[in-house]
Chains A and B, each alone.
Chain A
């Protein structure tokens, strides 16, 4: 048979939102191709949780219990075996870090074509093609595949389907892991680092990036956020550098937000950050580099020194709001 195999990432009894988008997309495309979509789960997954992927349109779930969670290479072993044994033509991943690693490893293993950062999948003449924005989103390239295709979505690219009551058949698979796949071992997973701050409910977000210059630069963001009645967000670069808590991170492995106002201070606007806030109602950017990509998609851009602008803006907002 042909078919599409999606990977479903889970953690603490729930599926990753982008994985559910990927599973839903696999089901939509399978329907367009007249074939079936299946999913792979690894590790500790209850019968109920595994079967619930049927809610999003996959007919069968391959469960590899006992395979370590949170690392890519063991999943490559599982997916390669399932695809070989069952003849799947495509593997599909929702946005996220792990999907990138698994998809790339799988392409090497199966000698398949791989496309990452995919924003749209189309079924054309019984085959899938994938659209991917390139060069800072200035052009869109379409990939087609000579043989097997591995499609890795951009964050939030695939909508999660409205869940039905359907349940998947669950098939347990035994997979002998490659010797090198077991040479990486998870010591500690999912450390939050920094305090837990809720930014997803905020209507106003003031986000800071490397352009703040130093961790203390966030004080400027905090003052403005307070004046606006909002919260402070951060880029991955500054979170990785330890400047601000992980819970405030927007983008690839962080949160996705769509506030009324997203004010980005000292943020260049790399794609991996952009995908986390691009659906905000209003985007304002302050950056001293006139060539920063963020100015290409902000509604209001200010080329200037945030150290001068932010304090005055905070005062003016306070005065205006009374």
Chain B
């Protein structure tokens, strides 16, 4: 069995995110890191490999993004991935969700995975919809926000919470699965793995290598035009108390609640 894990580099949570008003795109300068949600997908792949149910020949991290995205791939490799593939091309800049999903599907098709795993959402611009886009292009069954996944004889048994409670769904492989963060507790990479990450194979490809026409991606291939960025209606900033003396803090909370007649 071959597992591909879709990963993404995102701005570090500690860095303030901003849109470049001249282009309407995310300003991608500043510190960047592996999307924390993706570590759950990598861990899920590792647990399938370490489990008794199937033989996993290879786990491959796959990403699309600018040259700096290599750092996210190194992090993925340090968490146990065997090798990585990086799709990078100027023509991809400005791709919307649908165009991004299309490009990733082209890249994945070249790998012919039995299972594609991804995190439930990325921390920056796009949402947890990319899995559904990729699955439709790959013509594979798909499920998002999976919190339990058992593998057996060519199929998965998945659990996830949807509108009316928890659903149990059986899915034939190959499949595309987005995992929720409750699925596991990702391991920490060892120092040795971090040091060795840059030595693992990394395949850098452009759009021509995976059969993507330039006008199918980027701004030309995107069907959504984003613009008119505006600030949301501002809500008055609430009062903030830094707890130093808890007795005093509690007194302040009680007074605040009492003022609003919440303790009568």
B231-A139 in contact (CB<8A)? yes
Contact A136:B17 (CB < 8 A) given known A104-B130, A189-B167, A300-B238: yes
Segment touching B, from A40-48, A55-63, A69-77, A167-175: A69-77
A138-B232 in contact (CB<8A)? yes
Q: Mark B77-102, 1 if CB is under 8 A from A, else 0.
A: 00000000000000000001110011
**Chain B hits for A162, CB < 8 A:** none
The reply to whether the CB of B187 lies closer than 8 angstroms to some CB of chain A is: no
**Chain A hits for B240, CB < 8 A:** 295, 300-303
**Chain B hits for A180, CB < 8 A:** 135, 139-141
- Which of A109, A136, A183, A320 is in CB contact (< 8 Å) with B172? A183
Q: What residue of chain B has the Cβ atom nearest to residue A16's Cβ?
A: B163
Report Cα–Cα, A71/B132, bound state, in Å: 12
A304-B249 in contact (CB<8A)? yes
**Chain A hits for B134, CB < 8 A:** 108
A116-B129 in contact (CB<8A)? yes
A241-B97 in contact (CB<8A)? no
- Which of A76, A143, A184, A246 is in CB contact (< 8 Å) with B224? A143
Report Cα–Cα, A237/B229, bound state, in Å: 31
Tell me how far the C-beta of A46 lies from the nearest C-beta in chain B, rounded to whole angstroms: 19
Report Cα–Cα, A205/B167, bound state, in Å: 27
Tell me how far the C-beta of A272 lies from the nearest C-beta in chain B, rounded to whole angstroms: 9
**Chain A hits for B237, CB < 8 A:** 296
**Inter-chain contact count A-B, CB under 8 Å?**
270
The reply to whether the CB of A38 lies closer than 8 angstroms to some CB of chain B is: no
B166-A71 in contact (CB<8A)? no
The reply to whether the CB of A101 lies closer than 8 angstroms to some CB of chain B is: yes
**Chain B hits for A298, CB < 8 A:** 238
**Chain A hits for B250, CB < 8 A:** 309, 312-313, 316
The reply to whether the CB of A147 lies closer than 8 angstroms to some CB of chain B is: yes
Q: Mark A89-129, 1 if CB is under 8 A from B, else 0.
A: 00000001110111111011101111111000000000000
Contact A108:B132 (CB < 8 A) given known A114-B98, A191-B167: yes
B161-A236 in contact (CB<8A)? yes
The reply to whether the CB of A244 lies closer than 8 angstroms to some CB of chain B is: no
Q: What residue of chain A has the Cβ atom nearest to residue B216's Cβ?
A: A111
Contact A146:B172 (CB < 8 A) given known A137-B232, A308-B243: no
The reply to whether the CB of A188 lies closer than 8 angstroms to some CB of chain B is: yes
CB contact list, A279-322 vs B, under 8 A: 282-284, 290-291, 295-305, 308-309, 312-313, 316-317, 320-321
**Chain A hits for B254, CB < 8 A:** 313, 316-317, 320
Tell me how far the C-beta of A45 lies from the nearest C-beta in chain B, rounded to whole angstroms: 16
B229-A193 in contact (CB<8A)? no
Which size class do B's interface residues fall under? 35 or more
- Which of A107, A240, A284 is in CB contact (< 8 Å) with B98? A107
Tell me how far the C-beta of A245 lies from the nearest C-beta in chain B, rounded to whole angstroms: 11
B246-A312 in contact (CB<8A)? yes
**Chain B hits for A76, CB < 8 A:** 136
A101-B144 in contact (CB<8A)? yes
**Chain A hits for B169, CB < 8 A:** 71, 184-187
The reply to whether the CB of B3 lies closer than 8 angstroms to some CB of chain A is: no
Contact A191:B168 (CB < 8 A) given known A113-B223, A237-B182, A303-B242: yes
The reply to whether the CB of A192 lies closer than 8 angstroms to some CB of chain B is: yes
B171-A188 in contact (CB<8A)? no
Contact A302:B249 (CB < 8 A) given known A139-B229, A140-B232, A240-B161: yes
Residues of B within 8 A of A (CB): 14, 17-19, 24, 96-98, 101-102, 124-125, 127-137, 139-145, 147, 157, 161-172, 175, 180-182, 222-232, 235, 237-243, 246-247, 249-251, 253-254, 256-258, 260, 262-263
Residues of A within 8 A of B (CB): 9, 11, 16, 70-73, 76, 96-98, 100-105, 107-109, 111-117, 133-149, 152, 178-181, 183-193, 204, 228, 236-237, 239-241, 246, 253, 260-261, 282-284, 290-291, 295-305, 308-309, 312-313, 316-317, 320-321
Could you give 8 example pairs across A and B, Cβ below 8 Å? A104-B131, A105-B132, A105-B136, A133-B232, A140-B230, A189-B168, A253-B163, A321-B263
Q: For the A-B complex with A96-B163, A253-B161 known, give 4 more contacts whose Cβ atoms are closer than 8 Å.
A: A193-B166, A300-B240, A303-B241, A313-B253
